[in-house]
Chains A and B, each alone.
Chain A
Amino acid sequence: MTPEANARAELLQLIDSKMNRTLKYYLDTCVRCAICKDACHQYVATGDVLYLPAYRAELIRRIYKKYMTGSGRLLPKLFEGRDPEDDVLLDELYKTTYACTSCRRCMFWCPFSIDTSWVLAVAKALLLATGRGSEILTQLADSAIDKGKNIDLYTGVIREVLKGSEEEMRRIVQDPSAGFVYDKQGADVLYVALAGTHTILPAAIVFHQAGEDWTLSSFEGSNYGYFLGDTVKAKAIAQRIVDEAKTLGVKEIVMSECGHAHRVMRDFYRMWAKEELPAPMVSILSKVDGYIKDGRIKVTPGKITEPVTYHDPCQIGRNFGLFEEPRNVVRATCSDFRDMTPNRQKQWCCGGGGGLVAETEFDDVRLKSGRLKADQIKATGAKILVTPCENCRLQIESLNDHYDLGVRVSAVLDLVVEAIEIKPR
Protein backbone atom coordinates (compact mmCIF):
# COMPACT_ATOMS: atom_id res chain seq x y z
CA MET A 1 0.00 0.00 0.00
CA THR A 2 1.16 3.56 -0.68
CA PRO A 3 1.63 5.82 2.36
CA GLU A 4 -1.52 7.74 1.27
CA ALA A 5 -3.58 4.54 1.08
CA ASN A 6 -2.21 3.52 4.47
CA ALA A 7 -3.18 6.85 6.02
CA ARG A 8 -6.68 6.59 4.56
CA ALA A 9 -7.06 3.04 5.85
CA GLU A 10 -6.08 4.20 9.34
CA LEU A 11 -8.63 7.02 9.29
CA LEU A 12 -11.35 4.68 8.07
CA GLN A 13 -10.47 2.23 10.80
CA LEU A 14 -10.77 5.01 13.35
CA ILE A 15 -14.21 6.01 12.06
CA ASP A 16 -15.29 2.38 11.94
CA SER A 17 -14.20 1.87 15.56
CA LYS A 18 -16.65 4.62 16.61
CA MET A 19 -19.56 3.22 14.58
CA ASN A 20 -21.73 1.48 17.12
CA ARG A 21 -25.36 0.59 16.43
CA THR A 22 -26.71 3.91 17.61
CA LEU A 23 -24.42 5.91 15.36
CA LYS A 24 -25.21 3.74 12.36
CA TYR A 25 -28.89 4.27 13.13
CA TYR A 26 -28.33 8.05 13.14
CA LEU A 27 -26.46 7.95 9.85
CA ASP A 28 -28.87 5.58 8.13
CA THR A 29 -32.13 7.10 9.36
CA CYS A 30 -32.05 10.81 8.53
CA VAL A 31 -34.80 11.48 5.97
CA ARG A 32 -33.72 15.08 5.30
CA CYS A 33 -37.02 16.44 6.55
CA ALA A 34 -35.09 19.51 7.79
CA ILE A 35 -37.22 19.84 10.92
CA CYS A 36 -33.94 20.34 12.79
CA LYS A 37 -33.33 23.59 10.92
CA ASP A 38 -35.73 25.41 13.24
CA ALA A 39 -34.10 23.90 16.31
CA CYS A 40 -30.49 25.01 15.92
CA HIS A 41 -29.89 28.54 17.20
CA GLN A 42 -26.87 28.87 14.91
CA TYR A 43 -28.81 28.01 11.76
CA VAL A 44 -31.84 30.10 12.77
CA ALA A 45 -29.66 33.13 13.50
CA THR A 46 -27.40 32.91 10.43
CA GLY A 47 -29.26 30.90 7.78
CA ASP A 48 -25.86 29.36 6.92
CA VAL A 49 -26.22 25.75 5.75
CA LEU A 50 -22.95 24.94 7.51
CA TYR A 51 -24.89 25.16 10.78
CA LEU A 52 -27.86 23.04 9.69
CA PRO A 53 -27.76 20.01 12.02
CA ALA A 54 -28.51 17.50 9.27
CA TYR A 55 -25.78 19.01 7.10
CA ARG A 56 -23.21 18.80 9.90
CA ALA A 57 -23.88 15.07 10.19
CA GLU A 58 -24.03 14.74 6.41
CA LEU A 59 -20.29 15.40 6.14
CA ILE A 60 -19.53 12.29 8.19
CA ARG A 61 -22.35 10.40 6.51
CA ARG A 62 -20.66 10.90 3.10
CA ILE A 63 -17.52 9.09 4.30
CA TYR A 64 -19.56 6.43 6.06
CA LYS A 65 -21.72 5.79 3.00
CA LYS A 66 -18.78 5.56 0.61
CA TYR A 67 -16.71 3.16 2.65
CA MET A 68 -18.97 1.43 5.15
CA THR A 69 -22.18 0.59 3.31
CA GLY A 70 -22.72 -1.78 0.38
CA SER A 71 -24.80 0.69 -1.64
CA GLY A 72 -22.27 3.45 -1.09
CA ARG A 73 -19.36 1.25 -2.15
CA LEU A 74 -21.26 0.39 -5.33
CA LEU A 75 -22.55 3.87 -6.14
CA PRO A 76 -20.36 6.35 -4.26
CA LYS A 77 -21.37 9.27 -6.51
CA LEU A 78 -25.05 8.79 -5.72
CA PHE A 79 -24.28 9.32 -2.04
CA GLU A 80 -21.79 12.11 -2.72
CA GLY A 81 -19.18 9.85 -1.15
CA ARG A 82 -16.10 11.60 0.24
CA ASP A 83 -12.67 10.55 1.46
CA PRO A 84 -11.65 11.01 5.10
CA GLU A 85 -8.44 12.87 4.17
CA ASP A 86 -10.18 15.31 1.82
CA ASP A 87 -8.92 18.78 2.81
CA VAL A 88 -12.03 20.62 1.66
CA LEU A 89 -14.25 18.27 3.66
CA LEU A 90 -12.00 18.54 6.73
CA ASP A 91 -11.98 22.36 6.58
CA GLU A 92 -15.75 22.42 6.47
CA LEU A 93 -15.98 19.77 9.14
CA TYR A 94 -13.76 21.81 11.46
CA LYS A 95 -15.93 24.91 11.14
CA THR A 96 -19.19 23.13 11.71
CA THR A 97 -18.01 20.67 14.37
CA TYR A 98 -16.19 22.97 16.76
CA ALA A 99 -18.94 25.58 16.34
CA CYS A 100 -21.61 23.13 17.59
CA THR A 101 -22.41 23.78 21.23
CA SER A 102 -23.61 20.18 21.81
CA CYS A 103 -26.85 21.67 23.11
CA ARG A 104 -28.85 18.76 21.58
CA ARG A 105 -31.85 20.94 20.84
CA CYS A 106 -31.87 19.45 17.33
CA MET A 107 -32.15 15.95 18.80
CA PHE A 108 -35.17 17.03 20.80
CA TRP A 109 -36.89 18.24 17.62
CA CYS A 110 -35.82 15.45 15.25
CA PRO A 111 -38.63 12.88 14.73
CA PHE A 112 -35.98 10.14 14.94
CA SER A 113 -34.10 11.68 17.87
CA ILE A 114 -30.90 11.86 15.88
CA ASP A 115 -28.14 13.18 18.13
CA THR A 116 -26.05 15.35 15.83
CA SER A 117 -23.61 16.16 18.61
CA TRP A 118 -22.81 12.46 18.91
CA VAL A 119 -22.13 12.20 15.18
CA LEU A 120 -19.86 15.20 15.60
CA ALA A 121 -17.91 13.32 18.27
CA VAL A 122 -16.78 11.10 15.37
CA ALA A 123 -15.95 14.23 13.40
CA LYS A 124 -13.81 15.46 16.30
CA ALA A 125 -11.94 12.13 16.41
CA LEU A 126 -11.26 12.45 12.67
CA LEU A 127 -10.14 16.06 13.00
CA LEU A 128 -7.80 15.17 15.87
CA ALA A 129 -6.35 12.23 13.91
CA THR A 130 -5.62 14.56 10.97
CA GLY A 131 -3.95 17.16 13.21
CA ARG A 132 -6.90 19.57 13.00
CA GLY A 133 -8.15 19.59 16.59
CA SER A 134 -8.98 22.98 18.10
CA GLU A 135 -5.68 24.52 19.21
CA ILE A 136 -7.00 26.48 22.17
CA LEU A 137 -9.08 23.56 23.46
CA THR A 138 -5.97 21.36 23.18
CA GLN A 139 -3.98 23.88 25.22
CA LEU A 140 -6.70 24.13 27.86
CA ALA A 141 -6.94 20.34 28.13
CA ASP A 142 -3.15 19.91 28.27
CA SER A 143 -2.74 22.52 30.98
CA ALA A 144 -5.47 20.85 33.09
CA ILE A 145 -3.60 17.54 32.78
CA ASP A 146 -0.32 19.27 33.66
CA LYS A 147 -1.98 20.81 36.70
CA GLY A 148 -3.09 17.34 37.77
CA LYS A 149 0.47 16.03 37.53
CA ASN A 150 1.96 18.95 39.42
CA ILE A 151 -0.78 19.80 41.88
CA ASP A 152 1.65 20.05 44.81
CA LEU A 153 3.26 23.07 43.13
CA TYR A 154 -0.03 24.93 43.18
CA THR A 155 -2.11 24.02 46.21
CA GLY A 156 -0.03 26.05 48.69
CA VAL A 157 -0.06 29.25 46.67
CA ILE A 158 -3.73 28.93 45.72
CA ARG A 159 -4.79 28.29 49.32
CA GLU A 160 -2.73 31.28 50.43
CA VAL A 161 -4.54 33.55 47.95
CA LEU A 162 -7.93 32.08 48.96
CA LYS A 163 -7.32 33.25 52.56
CA GLY A 164 -8.87 36.59 51.63
CA SER A 165 -12.09 34.80 50.65
CA GLU A 166 -12.03 32.77 53.87
CA GLU A 167 -11.85 36.06 55.77
CA GLU A 168 -14.93 37.22 53.89
CA MET A 169 -16.68 33.95 54.70
CA ARG A 170 -16.01 34.41 58.44
CA ARG A 171 -17.42 37.91 58.27
CA ILE A 172 -20.59 36.74 56.49
CA VAL A 173 -21.29 33.68 58.65
CA GLN A 174 -20.16 35.44 61.84
CA ASP A 175 -18.02 32.52 62.87
CA PRO A 176 -14.33 33.17 63.55
CA SER A 177 -13.54 29.48 63.22
CA ALA A 178 -15.14 29.08 59.75
CA GLY A 179 -13.01 28.49 56.68
CA PHE A 180 -12.56 26.39 53.57
CA VAL A 181 -11.99 22.72 54.30
CA TYR A 182 -9.13 20.95 52.53
CA ASP A 183 -8.06 17.29 52.26
CA LYS A 184 -10.57 16.08 54.83
CA GLN A 185 -10.41 12.31 55.00
CA GLY A 186 -13.82 10.61 55.02
CA ALA A 187 -15.81 13.83 54.48
CA ASP A 188 -19.40 13.33 53.38
CA VAL A 189 -19.03 15.73 50.47
CA LEU A 190 -16.18 16.39 48.05
CA TYR A 191 -17.12 19.73 46.55
CA VAL A 192 -15.75 20.26 43.04
CA ALA A 193 -15.69 23.97 42.27
CA LEU A 194 -14.32 25.85 39.28
CA ALA A 195 -10.97 27.62 39.14
CA GLY A 196 -11.24 30.83 41.15
CA THR A 197 -13.09 31.80 44.28
CA HIS A 198 -16.48 32.79 42.86
CA THR A 199 -17.79 29.21 42.94
CA ILE A 200 -16.07 28.37 46.25
CA LEU A 201 -17.11 31.16 48.60
CA PRO A 202 -20.92 30.95 48.12
CA ALA A 203 -20.85 27.15 48.44
CA ALA A 204 -18.64 27.35 51.55
CA ILE A 205 -21.14 29.73 53.17
CA VAL A 206 -24.06 27.43 52.33
CA PHE A 207 -22.21 24.30 53.54
CA HIS A 208 -21.29 26.07 56.79
CA GLN A 209 -24.89 27.10 57.39
CA ALA A 210 -26.23 23.64 56.51
CA GLY A 211 -23.70 22.03 58.86
CA GLU A 212 -22.39 19.96 55.97
CA ASP A 213 -19.33 17.76 56.39
CA TRP A 214 -17.43 18.86 53.28
CA THR A 215 -14.00 19.22 51.77
CA LEU A 216 -12.87 21.21 48.75
CA SER A 217 -11.44 19.46 45.71
CA SER A 218 -8.03 20.61 44.50
CA PHE A 219 -9.34 20.39 40.95
CA GLU A 220 -11.82 22.29 38.87
CA GLY A 221 -14.85 20.55 37.37
CA SER A 222 -14.48 21.97 33.86
CA ASN A 223 -13.12 19.57 31.26
CA TYR A 224 -11.80 20.99 28.00
CA GLY A 225 -10.75 17.52 26.86
CA TYR A 226 -14.46 16.80 26.51
CA PHE A 227 -15.05 19.87 24.33
CA LEU A 228 -11.97 19.01 22.31
CA GLY A 229 -13.39 15.53 21.67
CA ASP A 230 -10.26 13.78 22.94
CA THR A 231 -11.57 11.06 25.20
CA VAL A 232 -8.11 10.13 26.50
CA LYS A 233 -7.46 13.67 27.68
CA ALA A 234 -11.03 14.09 28.91
CA LYS A 235 -10.72 10.95 30.99
CA ALA A 236 -7.35 12.05 32.41
CA ILE A 237 -8.90 15.37 33.50
CA ALA A 238 -11.90 13.70 35.15
CA GLN A 239 -9.60 11.08 36.67
CA ARG A 240 -7.95 13.74 38.87
CA ILE A 241 -11.25 14.19 40.72
CA VAL A 242 -12.06 10.49 40.81
CA ASP A 243 -8.65 9.65 42.32
CA GLU A 244 -9.05 12.41 44.88
CA ALA A 245 -12.52 11.08 45.84
CA LYS A 246 -11.05 7.59 46.23
CA THR A 247 -8.11 8.79 48.33
CA LEU A 248 -10.31 10.84 50.63
CA GLY A 249 -13.04 8.19 50.82
CA VAL A 250 -15.85 10.72 50.44
CA LYS A 251 -19.52 9.72 50.30
CA GLU A 252 -20.62 12.10 47.54
CA ILE A 253 -19.01 14.13 44.77
CA VAL A 254 -20.92 17.41 44.62
CA MET A 255 -20.53 19.31 41.39
CA SER A 256 -20.58 23.09 41.33
CA GLU A 257 -22.51 25.26 38.89
CA CYS A 258 -20.85 24.02 35.71
CA GLY A 259 -23.00 22.46 32.99
CA HIS A 260 -20.72 20.10 31.11
CA ALA A 261 -18.97 18.94 34.31
CA HIS A 262 -22.31 17.53 35.45
CA ARG A 263 -22.53 15.32 32.38
CA VAL A 264 -18.84 14.43 32.29
CA MET A 265 -18.94 13.10 35.84
CA ARG A 266 -22.34 11.43 35.76
CA ASP A 267 -22.57 10.16 32.19
CA PHE A 268 -19.22 10.11 30.41
CA TYR A 269 -16.56 9.15 32.96
CA ARG A 270 -17.92 5.62 33.31
CA MET A 271 -17.97 5.26 29.52
CA TRP A 272 -14.37 6.45 29.13
CA ALA A 273 -12.92 4.68 32.17
CA LYS A 274 -15.15 1.60 32.13
CA GLU A 275 -15.60 1.95 35.87
CA GLU A 276 -18.20 3.50 38.12
CA LEU A 277 -17.49 6.62 40.16
CA PRO A 278 -16.23 5.82 43.67
CA ALA A 279 -19.12 7.87 45.09
CA PRO A 280 -22.35 9.18 43.54
CA MET A 281 -22.17 12.52 41.80
CA VAL A 282 -24.78 15.02 43.00
CA SER A 283 -25.45 18.50 41.68
CA ILE A 284 -24.97 21.41 44.08
CA LEU A 285 -28.40 22.56 42.85
CA SER A 286 -30.10 19.41 44.20
CA LYS A 287 -28.13 19.72 47.43
CA VAL A 288 -29.21 23.30 48.05
CA ASP A 289 -32.82 22.58 47.08
CA GLY A 290 -32.71 19.79 49.68
CA TYR A 291 -31.14 22.05 52.35
CA ILE A 292 -33.94 24.59 51.91
CA LYS A 293 -36.71 21.95 51.92
CA ASP A 294 -35.23 20.20 54.97
CA GLY A 295 -34.79 23.50 56.81
CA ARG A 296 -31.00 23.06 57.01
CA ILE A 297 -30.63 26.56 55.61
CA LYS A 298 -33.19 29.33 55.65
CA VAL A 299 -33.58 32.01 53.02
CA THR A 300 -35.80 35.06 53.44
CA PRO A 301 -38.70 34.50 51.03
CA GLY A 302 -38.89 37.22 48.42
CA LYS A 303 -35.68 38.87 49.65
CA ILE A 304 -34.69 39.73 46.09
CA THR A 305 -37.35 42.06 44.78
CA GLU A 306 -36.02 42.86 41.31
CA PRO A 307 -37.50 40.65 38.54
CA VAL A 308 -35.44 37.48 38.05
CA THR A 309 -35.32 35.10 35.11
CA TYR A 310 -33.63 31.73 34.80
CA HIS A 311 -31.70 30.28 31.87
CA ASP A 312 -31.67 26.46 31.66
CA PRO A 313 -28.10 25.51 30.67
CA CYS A 314 -28.37 22.81 27.99
CA GLN A 315 -26.04 20.49 29.90
CA ILE A 316 -27.93 20.84 33.19
CA GLY A 317 -31.46 21.03 31.83
CA ARG A 318 -32.14 19.23 28.55
CA ASN A 319 -29.14 16.91 28.82
CA PHE A 320 -29.03 16.23 32.57
CA GLY A 321 -32.65 16.65 33.60
CA LEU A 322 -32.44 19.30 36.31
CA PHE A 323 -35.24 21.76 35.68
CA GLU A 324 -37.19 22.17 38.89
CA GLU A 325 -34.45 22.04 41.56
CA PRO A 326 -32.72 25.24 40.43
CA ARG A 327 -36.09 26.95 39.91
CA ASN A 328 -37.17 25.96 43.43
CA VAL A 329 -34.02 27.55 44.83
CA VAL A 330 -34.32 30.72 42.76
CA ARG A 331 -38.04 31.08 43.53
CA ALA A 332 -37.31 30.74 47.24
CA THR A 333 -35.09 33.82 47.12
CA CYS A 334 -37.09 36.24 44.99
CA SER A 335 -40.54 37.77 44.80
CA ASP A 336 -40.80 38.25 41.03
CA PHE A 337 -39.72 35.18 39.06
CA ARG A 338 -40.33 35.23 35.33
CA ASP A 339 -39.68 32.14 33.19
CA MET A 340 -38.52 32.65 29.64
CA THR A 341 -40.47 31.28 26.68
CA PRO A 342 -39.65 28.63 25.59
CA ASN A 343 -38.02 27.04 28.63
CA ARG A 344 -36.95 23.71 30.12
CA GLN A 345 -36.42 21.05 27.38
CA LYS A 346 -37.27 23.56 24.67
CA GLN A 347 -35.13 26.45 25.87
CA TRP A 348 -32.76 28.09 23.40
CA CYS A 349 -29.04 27.48 23.87
CA CYS A 350 -27.28 30.69 24.96
CA GLY A 351 -24.76 30.08 22.19
CA GLY A 352 -21.65 29.82 24.35
CA GLY A 353 -21.48 26.10 25.12
CA GLY A 354 -19.16 23.50 23.65
CA GLY A 355 -16.09 25.54 24.64
CA LEU A 356 -17.10 28.41 22.32
CA VAL A 357 -16.48 31.08 24.94
CA ALA A 358 -12.79 30.13 24.76
CA GLU A 359 -12.61 29.75 20.98
CA THR A 360 -12.40 33.31 19.69
CA GLU A 361 -12.39 32.12 16.07
CA PHE A 362 -16.12 31.45 16.56
CA ASP A 363 -16.94 34.83 18.13
CA ASP A 364 -19.03 35.89 15.17
CA VAL A 365 -21.41 32.90 15.19
CA ARG A 366 -21.39 32.86 19.00
CA LEU A 367 -22.64 36.44 19.22
CA LYS A 368 -25.05 36.18 16.29
CA SER A 369 -26.61 32.95 17.54
CA GLY A 370 -26.90 34.40 21.06
CA ARG A 371 -29.47 36.84 19.70
CA LEU A 372 -32.25 34.31 20.32
CA LYS A 373 -31.33 34.08 23.99
CA ALA A 374 -30.88 37.84 24.20
CA ASP A 375 -34.40 38.35 22.79
CA GLN A 376 -35.82 35.87 25.30
CA ILE A 377 -34.15 37.63 28.21
CA LYS A 378 -35.33 41.06 27.03
CA ALA A 379 -38.92 39.80 26.67
CA THR A 380 -39.06 38.87 30.36
CA GLY A 381 -38.16 42.39 31.49
CA ALA A 382 -35.97 40.78 34.16
CA LYS A 383 -33.19 42.73 35.83
CA ILE A 384 -31.37 39.64 37.09
CA LEU A 385 -30.47 36.69 34.89
CA VAL A 386 -29.54 33.62 36.88
CA THR A 387 -27.98 30.49 35.45
CA PRO A 388 -25.94 27.65 36.94
CA CYS A 389 -23.28 27.22 34.25
CA GLU A 390 -20.03 29.16 33.92
CA ASN A 391 -19.99 28.98 30.12
CA CYS A 392 -23.56 30.29 29.98
CA ARG A 393 -22.71 33.08 32.40
CA LEU A 394 -19.65 34.14 30.37
CA GLN A 395 -21.70 34.06 27.18
CA ILE A 396 -24.66 35.96 28.65
CA GLU A 397 -22.28 38.58 30.10
CA SER A 398 -21.01 39.00 26.59
CA LEU A 399 -24.58 39.17 25.18
CA ASN A 400 -25.37 41.69 27.90
CA ASP A 401 -22.79 44.07 26.38
CA HIS A 402 -23.47 43.19 22.76
CA TYR A 403 -27.27 43.44 22.89
CA ASP A 404 -27.48 45.97 25.70
CA LEU A 405 -29.62 43.76 27.95
CA GLY A 406 -29.03 45.66 31.17
CA VAL A 407 -29.23 42.57 33.38
CA ARG A 408 -27.11 41.45 36.30
CA VAL A 409 -25.81 37.94 35.54
CA SER A 410 -25.72 35.72 38.59
CA ALA A 411 -25.11 32.14 39.66
CA VAL A 412 -27.86 30.38 41.64
CA LEU A 413 -25.76 30.20 44.82
CA ASP A 414 -25.04 33.93 44.67
CA LEU A 415 -28.78 34.57 45.06
CA VAL A 416 -28.93 32.08 47.93
CA VAL A 417 -26.15 33.91 49.74
CA GLU A 418 -27.94 37.23 49.18
CA ALA A 419 -31.13 35.83 50.74
CA ILE A 420 -29.72 33.50 53.40
CA GLU A 421 -30.61 34.10 57.05
CA ILE A 422 -27.34 33.61 58.90
CA LYS A 423 -27.56 31.51 62.03
CA PRO A 424 -24.49 31.91 64.20
CA ARG A 425 -22.81 28.55 64.86
Chain B
Amino acid sequence: MDDIKVDLELDLKGLLCPLPMVRVSQNISKVPVGGVIRATATDPGSLADIPSWARSTGNEIIKQEQEGSNLIYYIKRIK
Protein backbone atom coordinates (compact mmCIF):
# COMPACT_ATOMS: atom_id res chain seq x y z
CA MET B 1 0.00 0.00 0.00
CA ASP B 2 2.87 2.38 0.81
CA ASP B 3 4.21 2.40 -2.74
CA ILE B 4 1.06 3.27 -4.61
CA LYS B 5 1.94 4.55 -8.07
CA VAL B 6 0.32 7.94 -8.42
CA ASP B 7 -0.61 9.03 -11.96
CA LEU B 8 -1.88 12.50 -11.14
CA GLU B 9 -1.47 14.86 -8.19
CA LEU B 10 -4.33 17.24 -7.43
CA ASP B 11 -3.82 20.13 -5.05
CA LEU B 12 -7.29 20.99 -3.76
CA LYS B 13 -6.12 22.81 -0.65
CA GLY B 14 -8.25 25.82 0.24
CA LEU B 15 -11.08 24.85 -2.10
CA LEU B 16 -14.52 24.71 -0.51
CA CYS B 17 -17.11 22.06 -1.25
CA PRO B 18 -18.27 21.09 -3.79
CA LEU B 19 -15.14 22.16 -5.68
CA PRO B 20 -12.80 19.39 -4.39
CA MET B 21 -15.23 16.76 -5.65
CA VAL B 22 -15.80 18.65 -8.89
CA ARG B 23 -12.04 18.80 -9.57
CA VAL B 24 -11.65 15.07 -8.90
CA SER B 25 -14.52 14.32 -11.26
CA GLN B 26 -13.04 16.57 -13.97
CA ASN B 27 -9.64 14.92 -13.71
CA ILE B 28 -10.50 11.24 -13.34
CA SER B 29 -10.57 10.75 -17.12
CA LYS B 30 -7.00 12.08 -17.30
CA VAL B 31 -5.67 8.89 -15.67
CA PRO B 32 -5.99 5.47 -17.35
CA VAL B 33 -8.40 2.85 -16.01
CA GLY B 34 -6.58 1.39 -13.00
CA GLY B 35 -4.66 4.67 -12.58
CA VAL B 36 -4.58 6.65 -9.34
CA ILE B 37 -5.16 10.30 -8.44
CA ARG B 38 -3.71 11.59 -5.18
CA ALA B 39 -5.89 14.51 -4.14
CA THR B 40 -5.03 16.75 -1.20
CA ALA B 41 -7.92 18.78 0.20
CA THR B 42 -8.39 20.80 3.38
CA ASP B 43 -12.19 21.17 3.49
CA PRO B 44 -13.59 18.64 6.00
CA GLY B 45 -16.67 18.41 3.78
CA SER B 46 -14.52 16.42 1.36
CA LEU B 47 -14.39 13.59 3.92
CA ALA B 48 -17.88 12.57 2.86
CA ASP B 49 -18.05 14.19 -0.57
CA ILE B 50 -15.09 12.46 -2.22
CA PRO B 51 -15.77 8.90 -0.93
CA SER B 52 -19.49 9.16 -1.74
CA TRP B 53 -18.62 10.51 -5.20
CA ALA B 54 -16.28 7.53 -5.69
CA ARG B 55 -18.93 5.05 -4.59
CA SER B 56 -21.73 6.54 -6.67
CA THR B 57 -19.56 6.76 -9.82
CA GLY B 58 -18.06 3.28 -9.39
CA ASN B 59 -14.52 4.42 -8.60
CA GLU B 60 -12.54 3.51 -5.48
CA ILE B 61 -10.74 5.24 -2.63
CA ILE B 62 -7.83 2.87 -2.04
CA LYS B 63 -6.24 4.90 0.74
CA GLN B 64 -7.12 7.94 2.81
CA GLU B 65 -4.87 9.71 5.27
CA GLN B 66 -4.51 12.95 7.17
CA GLU B 67 -1.35 15.02 7.60
CA GLY B 68 -2.09 18.02 9.81
CA SER B 69 -4.99 19.78 8.15
CA ASN B 70 -4.35 18.07 4.80
CA LEU B 71 -6.85 15.36 3.87
CA ILE B 72 -5.28 13.05 1.31
CA TYR B 73 -7.24 10.70 -0.93
CA TYR B 74 -5.86 8.03 -3.29
CA ILE B 75 -8.58 7.57 -5.87
CA LYS B 76 -8.36 4.66 -8.30
CA ARG B 77 -10.15 4.94 -11.62
CA ILE B 78 -12.15 1.75 -12.03
CA LYS B 79 -13.98 2.40 -15.30
Q: Which residues of A contact B (CB under 8 A)?
A: 136, 139-140, 142-147, 150-151, 153-154, 157-158, 161-162, 164, 194-198, 220, 222, 224, 357-358, 360, 390, 394
A157-B47, A195-B43, A196-B43 known; A145-B56 Cβ under 8 A? yes
Apart from A143-B52, A194-B17, A195-B43, 4 more pairs, CB < 8 Å: A143-B56, A151-B48, A161-B47, A196-B45
**Could you tell me the distance between the alpha carbons of A143 and B46 in the complex, rounded to whole angstroms?**
11
Question: Closest 9 interchain pairs by CB?
Answer: A195-B45, A195-B17, A196-B45, A146-B52, A142-B56, A154-B48, A143-B52, A143-B53, A196-B43
Residue contact A140 to B47, C-beta cutoff 8 Å:
no
Residue in A147, A196, A197, A390 whose beta carbon sits within 8 Å of that of B52 in the complex: A147
Note all chain B residues with C-beta closer than 8 A to A161.
44, 47, 66, 71
Residue contact A140 to B48, C-beta cutoff 8 Å:
no
A183 CB, min distance to chain B CBs, angstroms:
16
Best-buried of A139, A151, A158 by chain B (most CB within 10 Å): A139
Residue contact B25 to A139, C-beta cutoff 8 Å:
yes
Residue contact A147 to B49, C-beta cutoff 8 Å:
yes
Question: Which chain A residue lies CB-closest to B69?
Answer: A164
* B18 on interface, CB distance cutoff 8 Å: yes
Residue in A146, A150, A153, A394 whose beta carbon sits within 8 Å of that of B19 in the complex: A394
A139-B25, A161-B71 known; A194-B45 Cβ under 8 A? yes
Residue in A153, A360, A390 whose beta carbon sits within 8 Å of that of B22 in the complex: A360
**Could you tell me the distance between the alpha carbons of A407 and B58 in the complex, rounded to whole angstroms?**
41
Note all chain A residues with C-beta closer than 8 A to B71.
161
**Could you tell me the distance between the alpha carbons of A161 and B53 in the complex, rounded to whole angstroms?**
20
Q: CB within 8 Å of A: which of B21-71? A: 21-22, 25-26, 43-49, 51-53, 55-57, 66, 69, 71
A154-B47, A154-B48, A158-B44 known; A195-B18 Cβ under 8 A? yes
Note all chain B residues with C-beta closer than 8 A to A358.
18-19, 22
Residue contact B48 to A147, C-beta cutoff 8 Å:
yes
Please report the total number of B residues contacting A with Cβ < 8 Å: 24
Residue contact A146 to B45, C-beta cutoff 8 Å:
no
A139 CB, min distance to chain B CBs, angstroms:
6
A361 CB, min distance to chain B CBs, angstroms:
10
B33 CB, min distance to chain A CBs, angstroms:
18
**Could you tell me the distance between the alpha carbons of A147 and B18 in the complex, rounded to whole angstroms?**
13
Residue contact B17 to A136, C-beta cutoff 8 Å:
no
**Could you tell me the distance between the alpha carbons of A222 and B43 in the complex, rounded to whole angstroms?**
15
Residue contact B16 to A140, C-beta cutoff 8 Å:
no
**Could you tell me the distance between the alpha carbons of A394 and B26 in the complex, rounded to whole angstroms?**
18
A143 CB, min distance to chain B CBs, angstroms:
4
Question: Which chain A residue lies CB-closest to B16?
Answer: A196
**Could you tell me the distance between the alpha carbons of A157 and B73 in the complex, rounded to whole angstroms?**
14
Note all chain B residues with C-beta closer than 8 A to A146.
52, 55-56
Residue contact B18 to A222, C-beta cutoff 8 Å:
yes
B56 CB, min distance to chain A CBs, angstroms:
4
Residue contact B52 to A144, C-beta cutoff 8 Å:
yes
**Could you tell me the distance between the alpha carbons of A153 and B55 in the complex, rounded to whole angstroms?**
12
**Could you tell me the distance between the alpha carbons of A161 and B51 in the complex, rounded to whole angstroms?**
16
Residue contact B52 to A150, C-beta cutoff 8 Å:
yes
A337 CB, min distance to chain B CBs, angstroms:
26
A139-B25, A360-B26 known; A195-B49 Cβ under 8 A? yes
Residue contact A158 to B49, C-beta cutoff 8 Å:
no
A159 CB, min distance to chain B CBs, angstroms:
9
Residue in B16, B21, B22, B51 whose beta carbon sits within 8 Å of that of A198 in the complex: B16
Residue contact B22 to A136, C-beta cutoff 8 Å:
yes
Question: Which chain B residue lies CB-closest to A355?
Answer: B18
Residue in A140, A151, A162 whose beta carbon sits within 8 Å of that of B21 in the complex: A140
**Could you tell me the distance between the alpha carbons of A153 and B18 in the complex, rounded to whole angstroms?**
19
A154-B48, A195-B43, A196-B45 known; A143-B17 Cβ under 8 A? no
B69 CB, min distance to chain A CBs, angstroms:
7
Note all chain B residues with C-beta closer than 8 A to A390.
16
Note all chain B residues with C-beta closer than 8 A to A150.
52, 55
**Could you tell me the distance between the alpha carbons of A196 and B17 in the complex, rounded to whole angstroms?**
7
Question: Which chain A residue lies CB-closest to B43?
Answer: A196
19 pairs of residues in contact across A and B, judged by CB atoms under 8 Å: A136-B22, A139-B21, A139-B56, A139-B57, A143-B49, A143-B55, A143-B57, A144-B52, A145-B56, A147-B49, A150-B52, A154-B47, A161-B66, A194-B45, A196-B16, A197-B44, A222-B17, A360-B26, A394-B16
Note all chain A residues with C-beta closer than 8 A to B46.
195
